[in-house]
A and B are shown apart, each in its own frame.
Chain A
Amino acid sequence: MSIFEYNGSALVAMVGKNCFAIASDRRLGVQLQTIATDFQKIYRIHNKLFIGLAGLATDAQTLYQRLVFRNKLYHLREERDMKPETFASLVSAVLYEKRFGPYFCQPVIAGLGDDDKPFICTMDSIGAKELAKDFVVAGTASESLYGACESMFKPDMEAEELFETISQALISAVDRDCLSGWGGHVYLVTPTEVTERILKGRMD
C-alpha cells in the first residue's frame, strides 16, 4: 500500500465570485482502522489564506508547523500578511528542499490575493505547483473528486451556492473512497468573513 494512502484524506478548494471555499474530510485512519473522526486537515495561515494538507498525517502536521514558523517570521520582518501566491512559492521551495527524502503530503492552498481576487493551487509532494482557475483536489479520493467537481462546478458562483456545490462534490466523492469520509469540514471565505461548517455524510 502506498505511503500516501496510509492515513486517508480528501481535500478540495473551489473559486467563486470574489470568494473561495476549501473543504476536507474528517477521517484519520491507520490503514483500515479508523482512529479519529474529527481530524483537522485544513489550517488557517491568516484570515485570507488557508492551506489543506493531504497525505501522511505526521508529515502534514510537521509541514504545517514549519510553514507557520516561516509565516510568523515573515510577518514580523515585513509587517504585512503573505500574499497567497507568495505563500505558494514558499511551500513549493520548502517541499523541494526535501527532494530526495520528501514530505509525503500534497498541499492545497487557497487564499484571497490583491484586491481580494481568489487564488487556489495544489502541488505534488516535491513542490510542483499546479495553478487552476476553477478547482483543485488532493488526497486518496482525488480521482472521485475530479469527476464530481468537473460536473458540478460553475464559474462565478456566489458564496452560498459555492458552499452547496463544494459540499455536494466532497460528500459524493468521499462516499466512493473507503479511506476518507466521516463527514466534512468546509471553510467559506469572502473578503469580509470566514464561515466554518461541519457536514454530516455517511459516517463510514
Chain B
Amino acid sequence: MGDSQYSFSLTTFSPSGKLVQIEHALTAVGSGQTSLGIKASNGVVIATEKKLPSILVDEASVQKIQTLTPNIGVVYSGMGPDSRVLVRKSRKQAEQYYRLYKEQIPVTQLVRETATVMQEFTQSGGVRPFGVSLLVAGYDDKGPQLYQVDPSGSYFSWKASAMGKNVSNAKAFLEKRYTEDTELDDAVHTAILTLKEGFEGQISGKNIEIGMIGSDRIFRVLSPSEVEDYLQEVE
C-alpha cells in the first residue's frame, strides 16, 4: 500500500490529540445524503435519500443499498466510490469465512472485519481514511442487528440511528418515535417519516431507497413500486 516515497502515514496526530484526517472524513460523511436504520423486534430496516445530480440520470441504475451476504445489507452516507471499495472487501471477507467454516458469517464478525479495514486506512502509508459511515443491517442467530461503522473504524450497535446531512433532526425524531417492540412494518413507516422530515422536494419511490430484513433472514432492497406502497400507507 503506497510506494516507497509514501511509506509513512498521512493521518497523524494533532497537538490536541485528534486525528484531523478522521475529523475531516466525518465532515465529508456529515455533508452526504441522509441515511438511517431502525432495528425492530422482528427485523431491521435501512433507508437513504437517493438525490441524483440531474433528472437525466437513469435512477434505476443507481443502487445505494447493497447486499453483503444473503442476510446482511449495508447503506452509507458520504462518498459513494469509497463505499464501493468497502462493500467489495466485506463481501470477500464474508465469502472467505464461509469457505473456511461452511457457515454464514455472524453480523458482528463481518462488522468487526470491515471496521478493521477502515482502521487500517488510518494507520497505513500513503492512504487516506474512507469518507463514508456505514449502517450494517443483518439478521443471524443472535437476532436482528444494526451497526454503524465510522471512518475511524469504531463501530456501535444501535436500536435506531441516522447519518449524513440531517443527522441531528433525524436522530431527535427517531428518539421520540422509537419503541422497543416496534414491528418491522411500523419501523419502515417510521423510517419514511424520518426521511420526510428533512427532505427537500417531493418524496417518492424514485428518490429514496429502502432495504429490509425480516425473520426470513433474507435481505432485500425494495423496488420503487413497493416503496410507493409504503409511502401511501404513511400518508
Contacts and interface: CB of A to CB of B under 8 A. Distances in A.
Interface of A: 77-78, 83, 85-86, 89-90, 93
B103 interface: yes
Q: Summarize A's interface: helix, strand, loop or mixed.
A: helix
Interface residues of B, number: 9
Contacts of B102: 85-86, 89
Given A78-B108, A86-B102, A89-B100, 16 more contacts: A77-B109, A77-B112, A78-B106, A78-B109, A83-B103, A85-B102, A85-B103, A86-B101, A86-B103, A89-B101, A89-B102, A89-B103, A90-B100, A90-B101, A93-B99, A93-B100
A90 to B, nearest CB: 6
A83 B101 CA distance: 10
A78 B141 CA distance: 12
Contacts of A89: 100-103
Contacts of B99: 93
19 contacts: A77-B109, A77-B112, A78-B106, A78-B108, A78-B109, A83-B103, A85-B102, A85-B103, A86-B101, A86-B102, A86-B103, A89-B100, A89-B101, A89-B102, A89-B103, A90-B100, A90-B101, A93-B99, A93-B100
A78 B108 CA distance: 8
Nearest to B101: A86
Contacts of A78: 106, 108-109
A119 to B, nearest CB: 13
Contacts of B101: 86, 89-90
A78 B112 CA distance: 11
Contacts of B109: 77-78
Contacts of B108: 78
A72 to B, nearest CB: 15
